[in-house]
Amino acid sequence: MSITQGTDGTSQATFTGSEQSARSFVSFLIQQEFEKAAAYFDENMKGAVTPRKLKAIWMDQLTRSGTCQKIENTRIEPYLQYQIIFVTCRFEKQQVDVKLVIDAAKTLNQPMLILQGGQDCQVNPKDDFKKWQQALSVRKDVILTQLHDLKNKVP
């Protein structure tokens, strides 16, 4: 997992879990229980962000925004194979969205068939297909096929 402060007032994180997990993760940050919060990290992020680093990031957020008073709400937005969960928090000085990114395709525990149109005009067929391949390369129960002549119909 990593959390970064965006110029738009958002913080970004990548971890494993659900919407309820996202609320729990942020609750642990508010309570300054960084070891418990870090337990939500996937293996890649556990190596990149230690509980000590997580604490430094959160304390920096507190310096800019004041004390976190409460979690106001959450919302989920899909992006490629990810679910982005925004946990909106009310701080003393401002409202901040903590942005948590979940790799839904990696955590989905069932076989998948992904068909990508090679002439698709709503996504970049070349780049997006490579992203799917990279994200799911370790899965043996995933079939990825690019249909080079297929394109979606736009009304």
Mean pLDDT, consecutive 10-residue stretches, the chain (155 aa), reads: 40 58 92 93 79 92 93 87 86 90 68 72 72 77 75 55
Residue 8 buriedness (CB in 10 A; 0-12 / 13-18 / 19+): exposed
CATH 3.10.450.590 fits domain 4-106: yes
Domain with CATH 3.10.450.590 in the chain: 4-106
